[in-house]
Structures are given as structure tokens and as C-alpha cells.
Amino acid sequence: MFVAFILFLVVVGTLVFHFWSPYWLTPVASNWGSMDQTLILTFWVTGAVFMAVGLFMVYCVWRYRYQKDRKAEYKPEDKKLEFRLTLLTAIGVVALLAPGLIVWKDFVTVPKNAVEVEVVGYQWGWNYRLPGEDGILGKTDIKNISDNNPYGLDLNDSNSKDDIMVQDADLHLQIDKPVKLLLRSIDALHNFYVPEFRAKMDMVPGMITFYWLTPTKTGEYEILCAELCGTGHYAMLGTVLVEEERDYSNWLAQQITFENALAQNRTILQLAENKK
Amino acid sequence: MPDEFGYKIEAKVDMAASGTSVPPIDYVPVAERPEQELYHSKSWWTTYVFSQDAKYIGIQYTCVATAIALVGLTLSLLMRIQLAFPNLSLLDASVYYQFITMHGMIMVVFFLTALFLGGFGNLLIPLMCGARDMVFPYVNMLSFWVFVLAVLVLVASFFVPGGPTGAGWTLYPPQAITAGTPGNLWGIVLMLVSLVLFVVGFTMGGLNYVITVLQARTRGMTLMRLPLSIWGIFVATILALLAFPALLVGGIMLLLDAVFGTSFFMPASVSMGELLQTEGGSPILFQHLFWFFGHPEVYIVALPAFGIVSDLISVHARKNIFGYRMMVWALVIIGALSFIVWAHHMYVAGMNPWFGYFFATTTLIIAVPTAIKVYNWVLTLWRGNIHLTVPMLFTLGFIITFLNGGLTGLFLGNVVIDVPLSDTYFVVAHFHMVMGIAPVLVVFGAVYHWFPLVTGRMLDQGLGKLHFWITFVGAYMIYTPMYYQGFLGVPRRYFEMYESSYISTVGLNVFITLSALVVGLAQIIFFYNVIRSVLKGEKAEKNPWKANSLEWQTPKMPPEHGNWGEKLPVVYRWPYDFSVPGVDKEHIPQNVSPSEVAGAKVEKT
Amino acid sequence: MKKKEETFFQLISQKPWEASQAKLDNKHDGKTLKLSREKIGVRTIMVVSTVIFSFFVVAYADRMLIHDWKNMPEPWLLWINTCILMITSYFFHKTKIASDRSENVKVKNGLFTVGFLSFTFIFGQMLVWYQLLNLGYFAASNVANAFFYMLTTIHGLHLLGGLIFWGLTTSKFLKGNYRISKMQRSIELCAIYWHFLLIVWFVLFGLMLFT
């Protein structure tokens, strides 16, 4: 009796905790609400199975607890029952998988009008690069990295000159404009993750990974690194601001291009050398 | 030719009981193979240290694995204290990451794998198959000592300059060997050497387990008459033999990258502002190798647990396991599928996104046989006669925990739901439930169940119940809230717990840590119980749980060297003849011949 | 008594609780395969080794595609080593035949020849290393070199492992206290293992030759 009761409390308690506790998904701030929908579908389907099997087990424990004069049933198998359960499970699994794969197709198909934004992860922080006026990001190679050229841009690539560098600052995105985030790392694995955007992807040195999203809510969101990348992993935070078009343009106008940055750096270096 | 079984061959035909239905099946043909040569130890060293008796090696494995698990447990408690009470400044970030790494590796490989296959495998395989020992006892002994060496190398990494590696148990390059990670010089090298040793040692043991199950069973013991424990261990061993090579290959190549500066996995990259000499290596390749081992590894731990739980549930519910054949099929199917689902650990690792379709599909397919196993466990309880003994309690705890952990696997396996949830506390909760707590509950259940067989004494049932309730309910309270942290997006492997601006989880965090401390300390009850019972526990009667499988049918309990005395047992039935209709006795051990249980009526299905 | 061969699927669809099945099962002698346990042991080891080498080959094939790959020369000495290994296998085959016929002198000579040739092969491989290192092909300088050194080492370690068993067998043979059937089996298993290592070497050498 006692055992069945406690087990009952554990099973039902799980459900109670769900309703009683305030913890749940953060409000979504991107187009990936569809991920939430598949998640919630899975939550309720699996939750129902958990309750059903759990409570059935509790019932068995209570109903068939040891009695001296009872003999257990002898039943090696029941093909019909087993077949039905298998079929039911298979149907359930398909019902969960199909919507998931449909949303996954959206996730891996980047819309043509998406603006490219590069995110560069390093130990332990974030840099960003926008394509500038020509709309094309210049080529990069980790081997080009130097104090003057922290992104490793290819100096011979004319596309790189007007690229806009956003170093050690917040990333600004324009609301309702799809962006394709090109993810790059210069040292270790990282992962660009904003909980409110839902999406995430690892950054792998030597590769350019990507995902896309459309911010749908203005505001300030925290960027987290979601792949253990060394001692400073937990402190590898950043901020992304989703803004209306006017605020965004104002911000954009203040940013400097690679060419300017290079020139500025040269003058600073020159000044430093003259002082010597 | 001498009859190795020493059986008087009598063709006793018993037709009286049921009139017609019992055919003359009491006939035992003459043996065709010579008696197994049994090794006899000659000195103290070969009896107690370098023992070649599988039972003894099993106990040795269990003790070493448990000892190292206590290290792993302590590390986890220290980490939990740090997370909930950062003001105490118990650990700094690099120590925290070192603890995370060591906790993971110790628990998965050096504790659970070694315990289930090395410990229970050695103890149960010869006894349940009706063999006198493993087929290659000397190799078996070597296997254990190589394992001990691996553990020592692992422990040594705590004492080298820089400490153990802090790369996470996945040991992903490039950061595993670059300067931003603690223990990137000595720690990672010792970790990899230890893993290579473990694989070598395990392969020797695995050879024994597989061949003993295949070739050294006693007369009448067909594969389909084996208890599910053996099936679980057998399939898991095959998985291990095929999966560990991937770890070995990845480990060797990473070791060369770390020691000789090769570029197998090392891309061109920057470390501490310096451009490294390496070029072109593919970190993703390592991840593929790692998870090709890593995913079957989950089942290497889970399948023996599945098997053992099936036997416990059947014995303590006094009912045959429901759907024995389906259980065997499920083990085999899960084992086979486990090799084509590995990349579900890499949905957001930057591999070709189109792989997501394939691996999501295979991963969700594996849910079907797994679900069948759960149904069959519960259906075994249905119309049983359930003794709520301590092993049964642990079994019930296992079912709930495994159900919970398994169902949350459907979130993570479904590629698009994995995107928001991967690398959050949801993952931590899921795998701890499904391959941490669930198998550990089985381990406890199994220890309470087989303790009389090993020591001849019972564990105290009262203390056992106390231990169970604290462990099960406590562990459940640790991990259920973590799912909700995961929904919030709280990332795992953060030295300082991330605080979502949406809602604070500080309270939850403290609650989890307190639960963890209670569960951790409750294990003292268990160890006290074990030590007390070994010394002065209640003497166990023979076959105290009235089980059918062969390990309880030895002439002496605990079984002596050679297990079976003069003659090997002969098997006449499967191990689940509980409550057979028409028979007075509630259970019929496997070595009871049909003529001794006249009147058995077995319904055809 | 003859055992009926049953397929794996037949096996796992048995219903062990049924009386008709029990009748068959009671006659079962507890062995699944008609092979000696030693032979299954060697085969299992060969399967595991094959899996190991397959992973190396997969890693090789994957890594090869990246642009920094620089091919390595194949020194002529490698061809000689390959020949030595082939001759070793041939002699092991001969020794096995001799042992089946209990021609003790031939077996003794055969075992010695095989051991000598195997060590020569390992020595030859080390010479190749020496040559390549002198030419400046270091493991760290290009991953193709690293693969070469790694694969030859792993193959060599497998051979050394085999040589341990060869040593045990030979010393037992020389001491003379053995059962003939057991000795024949040991020699047969060693021979199988040596042939296996030859095939592995063909695959590895071919892989490095053609890329």
C-alpha cells in the first residue's frame, strides 16, 4: 500500500510540478516558434505515455501485491497484445517525427533574401562582421590573423574592404529581416546560442557553419556559448539587440569598415613608433 | 566414453500425469566433449590477487569500479555545492571543468561499463550458463589487471602538473589539447592512455564473455533458455567489442596530435594569440569516431541493466517474464540500431544538416523496441504476485526513472527539438535519468538480489528500504527540475550557473544541490549495510528468493571453485517457470527434470 | 549425434516454454558453433582488429580530401618488406601442413624461419622509418606522414602480439611437453593470424600506394 502510494505520488507529482512551477520556455523572439510547437506536441504525447504507463504500473503494484493464497498467472506471451502495442508506439513515433522533420527542412533551407552576418567566436568572446555596401563578405583564413587583422581577412580580396567590423560589442539585428548567421571560430569549438531565438549551431575552426532566423521581437537578448570551449566557457556571453529599422540604421552608420580600421590601426602604430 | 555429467541415463517416461501430452523428454544423451580443464590456484597470490576464478574476478571488478565511482560521486557533489553556493568559492573554473570531465568519464566507462560487464558479467555468465569458469581464465585475469592499470593511470592524472584534463568527457579537439583548457599537457595524455588501456583490457574480457556464452553452456542450455541477464550482457559485449575500436582509433590519433603535434584532428587555429603549426585537421571527424563509440556505449550500459531488471522483476513478481522472445529481439534490434544513430549527438555540431533527417529517423525508430521492453516489464507485474522486496523496489524505481529518461530522449532525438535543447540542462537531466540513475538503481537491485549468493548472508532489508526510498525519490527530485532549467535554455557545463533574465532559477538550483547531497550521503547507509552484513548479516538460506536460474542451484552457496561440485547441472527448462499451472511448487528451477514435476500443464500460445 | 544447423532467425523464434521445444532443447549440448573456442577467440580478435583498421582507413580517406595533404614517397624497401611478409605467410602455411603430418623436424625449422622472418620484417619497417626521417618526412610536418608512421606501428604491434603467441608455442614445442592435437591447433591458429596480418598489410600498403 505504502509503496504504491509513494510511487503514485512520484508519478502524479511530476505532473503537479509542471503545472505548479513557473518554469517554462522563455517567450520566443524569432520565427522559430515552430520549434516550440513540435516541442510542446512531444511534451504532451510523451507526458501522456508517462502518466499512463506509470499509473498502470502503480495499479499493478497495488492490485497484485503479494497474497499468500494467490498464484500468479502463467502467460509467456500474447502476440496480439504485443503487436498492438508495437503498432501504437510506431504510430506515435511517426506522429512525433513527421512535424519535426518538416520544421527541420525550414531550418536548413535559408531564404534567398537573408542578410549575411558573420559571427566569429574566440576564447572567450564574440566578434561580428557585416558585408558592407557590396553585400558580400570578404574571404578569410585563420592564417592571416594578426594584431592588425583579428578576423584573418584576405587583404587581396576586394570584397573585404567595405566589410563592417563589430569588435567586442553588441550585435544589432533588424526586426523582421531574415539573417543568415555564418559561424566561424578561430581557436576552439564554440556555439552561438540565444535562448529566445531557440536556434543554435557549433562553430568549428576550419569550417563555416550557419543557421538562419528572423528576429520577431525587439529587445535585448543574451548570447551564450553552448559548447564547452575551455576555462572561460561560462563567461563567454554577449548581447544581441533587435531593433526597428531606424535604430538599426543609426547604429550601422557608426560602425567602421575594415579599410578604415586598417588605416586607423596603421596611424596608431605609426604614432607609437614615432614616439619611440 | 565417460559421461561428464555423471548422470545415470534413464529414459523414464512419465505418461501417467496428463495422459498423453508429456513426451519422453527425460532422455539425456551421452556427452560428446571432454570436461573443461579447470585451473587450480597454487599459492596465496594466485588465489586472492591474480585469481583466475571468474566469480572472484567479478567481485574484484565490482570493488574497483565501486571505489572509483565513489571518487566520481564526490566530484559531482563538490560541483553541485559550487553551483548552488558560489559564494563559498569551493572550486575555481578550471577545477570545475576538470571535475566535470573526470566525473563523466569515471561514471560512464570506469564505473558502469566495468561494473556491468566486468563485475556482473564475470559473476553471472559462468554460473547462469552452467559452466565451471570462463573459457580463458588466464586472459580473464589479465583483463582485470589491465583495467586496474587503466584506473591507476586515470587517478594518476589528478597528481600531475596541470591536473586532469578539463575538456569534458567528450574530449573534443582542438580545445582538448590547446592552452585554454586545464590539463591540456599531462592530463589529456594520461586520460587517453588510460582509455586505450581500458579498451585493451576490455577486449580480453569481452572475448571471454562472448565465447563462454556461445560455447561453454551446460547440456540443455540453448541460447533461448538463457536468462535475460545473460542476453543483455552478451549483446552488450558484442556492441562493446565493435564500438570500442572507434574510441581506440580516435584516442590514438588524438594522442599523437597531443604528443607529436600531428594534424589528424587539429585544424589551423589560434591558441592564446599564437597561430598553431597544425593545419587541415577535422574536429568533426573526431566527433564522429567518438560518438560511434559513444552511442553504443549508452546501450553497453543499458542492455545489461535491461536484462538484469527483467530477471529481478520476474523472480520477485513470481511470474514469468512477459514476452521473453520479444525481449530478446528487442535487445538484438536495439543493439543493431545503436550503430546507426550516433550522429544524433551532433545535430548542432556543424555537420551536413541533411544528415539530420537520417539520424532523427533511426533514433526515433529505436524508441519502438525500447518502449516494448518497458511495456513488457509492466505487463509482467500484471497478474503477478508481487513481493515488495528491496530488489523489487529498485526495479520499480528503475521503470519509472527509465520511462522518464527514455521519453525525454524523444525530444532530443527529434532533430528540430534538439536544436533549442541541446547543450542545456535538459540533456543533463535526460542522460542522468536514462543512463545514470536508471542503471545505478539496477545495480543496487542486483546487489541486494545476488548478495546472498556471493557472501552467503542477506543484506538488511530495513536499511535497504530506507536506502531505496532516499536514493530513488531524491534522485528523481534532482533531475526532474533540471528539465525545466533546460526548457529555459540554461546551458550545461557552466561554472557559474546562467541566470535567465526571464525567470531566476536560483531556488531550483539550491534545491537540486540539497537533494544531491542527501542522495549522496544516503549511500553511506548502503555501504554500512554491506559491511555489516558481510560481517554478521543474517545467514541466507539456499536460494533465498526462490529463483529458477542456475546460479542459485549450485551444491554449495556461495558456490565453490568450479561452481558445480562433481557433476555439471543439466537444464530441462527455461528460467521463468514460476507459478506453472498444475504444479504444486511455485517455481521450478531450470535443472529440475520433467519427471519431477508431473502434471505440469503449459498452455500453448 | 548430428546437430541440425539452424539459422539465427530460427533460433530466436523458438518458444523455450513449449513442451515440443523443450524436447529438442534437452538434447542440446550447450555449444552454438562447431568450432573450438580457441578458433573462435582468434576469429573474434581478427574481427575486432578489422574494425580497428577499418576506422583508420575511414579516417585516412576522410582526411585525405583536405587540401593540405602531401603524398609521401614509397621507398623500395617497403616492397622488400612486403615480400618478406608474404614469404613468412608461405612458410607458416608449410609449417602448418608439416604439423598436421607430425613431421617434427620440419615444424621446428618452420617455426624458427617464421620467427626470424617476422623479426626481419619489423626491422625492415624500422629501416623504412629511418630512411624517411632522414629525408625529412616528420609526423608533424604532414598528416600523410603521420598516417604512415601510425599505421605501420599499429600493424607492427599486431605482429608483435602474434609473436608472443609464436614464442609460447615454440617454447612449448621445444620442451616437448604438449598434446599433439593442442600443438597442431596452436600452430594452425598462429598461421591464420599471420595470413590475416598479411591481408591487412596489403590493404594498408595498397591504400598508401594508390594515394
Taking only residues 115 to 144 of chain A, the set having a beta carbon closer than 8 angstroms to any beta carbon of chain B reads 122-124, 141-143
Residues on chain B touching A22 (C-beta within 8 angstroms) = 503
Domain membership of residue B162 as a residue range: 52-265+280-597
Residue B277 contacts A, CB cutoff 8 Å: no
| Residue A268 binned pLDDT confidence (cut-offs 50, 70, 90) | low
CA dist., res. B106 & res. B119, Å (int) = 15
Residue B109 pLDDT exceeds 90: yes
B271 within a domain of the structure (yes/no): no
| Cβ neighbourhood burial of A10 (10 Å; 0-12, 13-18, 19+) | buried
CA dist., res. B39 & res. B48, Å (int) = 14
Q: How far is CA C118 from CA B266, B364, B368, C42, C173, in A?
A: 35, 50, 51, 19, 19
Share of chain C above pLDDT 90, in %: 63
| Residue C157 binned pLDDT confidence (cut-offs 50, 70, 90) | very high
The reported pLDDT for the residue numbered B20 is: 40
The mean per-residue pLDDT over the stretch C14-40 comes to 89
The mean per-residue pLDDT over the stretch B412-436 comes to 95
B43 within a domain of the structure (yes/no): no
Residues on chain B touching C44 (C-beta within 8 angstroms) = 207, 210-211, 241
| Cβ neighbourhood burial of C172 (10 Å; 0-12, 13-18, 19+) | middle
CA dist., res. C116 & res. C125, Å (int) = 14
Q: Structural domain boundaries of chain A?
A: 2-66+74-108, 115-275
The reported pLDDT for the residue numbered C35 is: 87
Of A254, A191, C137, C189, nearest in space to B427 by CA: A191
- How many domains does one find in chain B? 1
CATH superfamily of C37-209: Cytochrome c oxidase, subunit III, four-helix bundle (1.20.120.80)
- For chain A, the C-alpha Rg in angstroms (whole number) is 27
Of A9, A22, A34, nearest in space to A216 by CA: A34
| Residue B27 binned pLDDT confidence (cut-offs 50, 70, 90) | very low
3-state secondary structure of A171: strand
Of B416, B421, B287, B265, nearest in space to B350 by CA: B287
| Of B357-366, B527-536, C62-71, minimum mean pLDDT range | C62-71
The mean per-residue pLDDT over the stretch C23-52 comes to 92
Residues on chain C touching B287 (C-beta within 8 angstroms) = none
Quick one: closest CA in C to B290, which residue? C55
Q: How many CB atoms lie within 10 A of CB A49?
A: 19
The reported pLDDT for the residue numbered A274 is: 66
Contact A226 B399 (CB under 8 A): no
CATH 3.90.226.10 fits A115-275, yes or no: no
Residues on chain A touching B178 (C-beta within 8 angstroms) = 187-188, 230
The mean per-residue pLDDT over the stretch C82-105 comes to 93
Q: Evaluate the CA torsion angle B453, B458, B460, B461 in order and state its sign.
A: positive
* Residue type, position C162, single letter: G
Enter the C-alpha cell of residue B133.
569458469
Disruptive mutation site among B314, B319, B416 for chain A (greatest number of A CBs within 10 Å): B416
The reported pLDDT for the residue numbered C7 is: 84
- Give the distance between the most distant pair of CA atoms in chain B: 90
Task: Note every long-range contact of C131-138, with CB atoms under 8 Å and residues 24 or more positions apart, other chains counting.
Answer: C131/C75, C131/C77, C132/C72, C132/C73, C132/C75, C135/C73, C137/C72, C137/C73
CA dist., res. B534 & res. A256, Å (int) = 75
H-type alpha helices, chain C: 8-12, 19-25, 37-64, 76-100, 104-134, 143-175, 180-209
Strand pairing report for A190-193 and A125-130: unpaired
The mean per-residue pLDDT over the stretch A30-43 comes to 95
pLDDT in tens, B174-210: 999 999 999 999 999 999 999 999 999 999 999 999 9
Residues on chain A touching B379 (C-beta within 8 angstroms) = 81
Residue B424 contacts A, CB cutoff 8 Å: yes
Residue B146 pLDDT exceeds 80: yes
Residue A11 contacts B, CB cutoff 8 Å: yes
Residue A103 pLDDT exceeds 80: yes
Q: How many CB atoms lie within 10 A of CB B580?
A: 24
Helix (H) or strand (E) holding A113: none
Residue A42 pLDDT exceeds 50: yes
The mean per-residue pLDDT over the stretch A219-240 comes to 94
Enter the C-alpha cell of residue A212.
538562419
B88 within a domain of the structure (yes/no): yes
B466 within a domain of the structure (yes/no): yes
Q: How far is A111 from chain B (nearest CA, A)?
A: 15
Contact B32 C1 (CB under 8 A): yes
| Residue A169 binned pLDDT confidence (cut-offs 50, 70, 90) | confident
The reported pLDDT for the residue numbered B597 is: 78
Residue C3 pLDDT exceeds 60: no
Enter the C-alpha cell of residue B328.
530478446
Residue B425 pLDDT exceeds 70: yes
In the numeric block, the cell 536556434 is attached to A199
Enter the C-alpha cell of residue A95.
506522429
Helix (H) or strand (E) holding B595: none
Strand pairing report for A115-122 and A179-185: parallel
The reported pLDDT for the residue numbered B602 is: 56
Residue B14 pLDDT exceeds 60: no
CB C96, CB C193: distance < 8 Å: no
**A211 φ, ψ (degrees, to nearest 5):** -155, 170
Question: Residues, chain C, total?
Answer: 211
| Residue B520 binned pLDDT confidence (cut-offs 50, 70, 90) | very high
B39 within a domain of the structure (yes/no): no
pLDDT in tens, C45-71: 999 999 999 999 999 999 998 888 888
CA dist., res. A271 & res. A266, Å (int) = 8
The reported pLDDT for the residue numbered A269 is: 61
Taking only residues 168 to 197 of chain B, the set having a beta carbon closer than 8 angstroms to any beta carbon of chain A reads 168, 172, 174-175, 178, 180-182
* Residue type, position B189, single letter: V
3-state secondary structure of B66: helix
| Of A51-65, B460-474, B561-575, minimum mean pLDDT range | B561-575
pLDDT in tens, B186-196: 999 999 999 99
- Give the distance between the most distant pair of CA atoms in chain C: 74
The reported pLDDT for the residue numbered B6 is: 39
Helix (H) or strand (E) holding B407: helix B390-413
- Mean pLDDT estimate for chain A: 91
The reported pLDDT for the residue numbered B499 is: 87
Q: How far is CA B20 from CA B14, B17, B597, B603, in A?
A: 9, 8, 15, 14
pLDDT in tens, A147-163: 878 888 888 888 888 88
Output the CA angle B301-B413-A94, nearest 5 degrees: 120
- pTM for the whole thing? 0.93
pLDDT in tens, A120-152: 999 989 999 999 888 889 898 888 888 878 888
